[in-house]
Amino acid sequence: MKSPMFCYQCEQTALGTGCTEFGVCGKEAGVAALQDLLVYQLEGLAVYGAAVLGQGQSIAQATHRLVIEALFSTLTNVNFDAGFFLELLKETETAKLALKTQAGVSAGSLPTAAVYRLPGDDEAIQRDADQIDLRPAAMLNPDIQSLKDILLYGIKGMAAYAHHAWMLGYQDSAISEYFYRGLSAMLDESLTLNDLIGMVMEFGQINLKTMELLDRANTGSFGHPEPTQALITRKKGPFIIISGHDLSDLVQLLDQTDGTGVNVYTHGEMLPALAYPGLKKYPHLVGNYGSAWQNQQREFDDLPGSILMTTNCLMEPRPSYEDRIFTSGVVGFPQLAHIEEKAGKKDFTPVIQRALQLGGWGADEPEKHILVGFGRNATLSHAGEIVAAVKSGQIRHFFLVGGCDGAKSGRNYYTEFAEKTPADSVILTLACGKYRFNKQEFGTVAGLPRLLDIGQCNDAYSAIQIALALADAFNCGVNDLPLTMVLSWYEQKAVCILLTLLSLGIKNIYLGPTLPAFISPNVLKFLVDTFEIKPISTPQADLAAMLA
């Protein structure tokens, strides 16, 4: 008997195998089914899109954006609203039919997803959604299905990065057009294991290009991050907390709160925004509140300010703050107020008014700060000192300890690991996994801070550029550097980053807290044999192996 849902795209999936009744993230089975139908619809749309591109024709920018946003909406902890997905399905149906007409392809030899027609009423759409199976090869050939799932989840993660860049006005046709080829491959039953391995490695390079595009969007809009002492305590007065990754939303919010007396605090993955010169110039962007995404229900409970969620990492809000949390972009929850985009702009007046009504904190806290802002420019400005310190023995090893944080047990490994790293080592960190230890004092080594915060998860691009520059300075390969990557994963953006690292030939990555359920035993063996991926064990044992 078919279970109400099946989802295993994130690390916290039920029993480590898959959510079948209700998502651990809070996603209901009906919403999960609509998300699956949306992906199915996008795969069918991609068949026509790939045909159009193969004929040398172009696809409308509006269709590119629709595909990217639709994929992004299916990431873990992005949108829980069935109504949102019903409307998105109707939009993709219109786009699909337009591409079909443009392609002029006959229906005879097309996959079922391409010829599928969305019903006209919502109840019929939901019935279709309940019958969709996105994993048709799961029983017949689990390795083929595993590689297709890895590719699909990577594509979903890449869509998030492409979306962030798009919101700042940066697009790349090679990236936009890849989505059609990658999605249509999900329906190609002729692909072999070798074909799919090749596609996964190719995807890693496309995602590298996407991360570079987003890096260019962020730095082109706001300058390169610079070392910054970020306030992590409260200031008196009304405030808004902005969480997620979307710097476009942040700058619009800062413009609209200017002169209102409302302070703005970053939260979660928005923390690195405090290091961009173009954002630091706003005096009312005062600091960072709270920690990683999975603590939001406790940290937002009865908060005397308003909250804006801009991208993924939304959890079901408690009743105590439902009236003060707003969503934006593709983020949504049924009962929450949503800020719509109109003509490329968003009006955050309701968020600001609610903050003023609530009044904010009554007094300043004693100030505490943490150091952020060590993107590639800031870090590589010390490249000469770093190389000299390694050659002289002052710096023995570099550890990149970063990735997604999460609620499941086992993630204290990363705290203990960072605490146990030797005093003659440097810890590079990025993404929300850094909240496990970024408020601790690690001191300095060779005149540099031992803990260097590189930024958001997409700033893995900066980490890659730092590693490549150091390898060039030492005239060696990245795998020959005294560098070990210790990564925590949670959702699909972590998947696309890992595939990029593998496509660059980077080996000996330690991955945890658990291995993905969508990697079959044979595919795992291939990754271990080819790239020497290792599951984490204990901090003591892993450190001993890394430093041996």
Q: Are 10 and 491 in contact (CB under 8 A)?
A: yes
| pLDDT confidence of residue 458 | 86
Per the document, the length of the chain is: 548
310-331 average pLDDT score: 96
Q: Are 150 and 499 in contact (CB under 8 A)?
A: yes
Percent of the chain with pLDDT over 90: 96
Q: Extract the tokens encoding 242.
A: 């902005």
User: Is residue 236's pLDDT more than 70?
Assistant: yes
Ranges of beta strands (E only) in 304-420 are 306-309, 325-328, 337-339, 341-342, 345-346, 369-372, 397-403
Closest CA relative to residue 300, chosen from 284, 313, 285, 282: 313
The pLDDT value given to residue 106: 76
Is the pLDDT score of 342 beyond 90? yes
- The CATH architecture that domain 373-547 belongs to is 3-Layer(aba) Sandwich (3.40)
| Contact between 303 and 295 (Cβ < 8 Å) | no
Tokens of 448: 């540099």
Percentage of the chain lying above the pLDDT 70 cut: 100
pLDDT tens per residue, range 473-493: 999 999 999 999 999 999 999
Average of per-residue pLDDT across 6-35? 96
Per-residue confidence at 409, pLDDT binned at 50, 70, 90? confident
| Mean pLDDT, residues 486-511 taken together | 96
Cβ atoms of 497 and 459 within 8 Å: the answer is no
**Residue 381 scores a pLDDT above 90:** yes
Decide the pairing of beta strands 345-346 and 341-342: antiparallel
Residues 134 and 36: their CA atoms lie apart, in Å, by 7
Query: Shortest CA distance to 18 belongs to which of 152, 147, 138?
Result: 138
Determine the pLDDT at residue 50: 97
Average pLDDT over residues 36-53: 98
pLDDT level of residue 410 (50, 70, 90 thresholds): confident
Position of tokens 């505490």? 368
Asked whether 205 and 334 are in contact (CB, 8 A), the reply is: no
Q: Which CATH architecture has domain 228-358?
A: 3-Layer(aba) Sandwich (3.40)
Nearest to 499 by CA among 136, 149, 6: 149
Q: Enumerate the H helices of 55-190 as residue ranges.
A: 61-73, 82-103, 112-115, 122-131, 142-167, 173-184
Instruction: State mean pLDDT over 216-229.
Output: 98
Q: In terms of Cα–Cα distance, which of 405, 313, 328, 341 is closest to 75?
A: 313
- The answer to whether 450 touches 474, Cβ cutoff 8 Å, is no
Average pLDDT, the chain: 96
| Residue 160 pLDDT > 60 | yes
The pLDDT score that the predictor gives to residue 107 is: 65
Q: For residue 1, is pLDDT > 60?
A: no
For residue 492, count other CB atoms closer than 10 A to its CB.
27
Strand ranges inside 390-542, DSSP E: 397-403, 425-430, 444-445, 448-449, 451-455, 483-488, 510-512, 534-535
pLDDT digits (tens, 9 = 90+) for 237-272: 999 999 999 999 999 999 999 999 999 999 999 999
CATH code of the domain occupying 14-202: 1.20.1270.20
Average pLDDT value for residue range 177-190: 97
pLDDT score recorded for residue 135: 94
List, for residues 412-444, the tens digit of each pLDDT value: 999 999 999 999 999 999 999 999 999 999 999
Q: What is the pTM of this model?
A: 0.97
Q: Specify the domain boundaries for CATH 1.20.1270.20 within the chain.
A: 14-202
In angstroms, the Cα distances linking 466 to 83, 210, 376, 443 are 44, 18, 6, 21
Residue 57 in tokens: 């024709």
Alpha helices per DSSP H over 304-397? 349-358, 376-380, 383-392
Q: What was the pLDDT predicted at 394? A: 97
Q: Where in the chain is the domain with CATH 3.40.50.2030?
A: 228-358, 373-547
Cα separation of 546 and 416, whole Å? 15
The pLDDT-based confidence of 2 (bands split at 50, 70, 90) is confident
CA distance 380 to 226: 12
Cα separation of the two ends of the chain: 52
449 backbone dihedrals φ, ψ, rounded to 5°: -60, 140
Establish whether the linkage from the previous residue to 319 is cis, with ω within 30° of 0.
Answer: no
Q: Per-residue DSSP letters for 168-221?
A: TT---HHHHHHHHHHHHGGG-TT--HHHHHHHHHHHHHHHHHHHHHHHHHHHHH
Contact indicator for 304, 241 with CB cutoff of 8 Å: no
Vertex 148: Cα angle to 142 and 151 (nearest 5): 140
Residue 83: what pLDDT? Answer: 97
Cα dist from 443 to 237, 271, 392, 452, whole Å:
33, 21, 19, 11
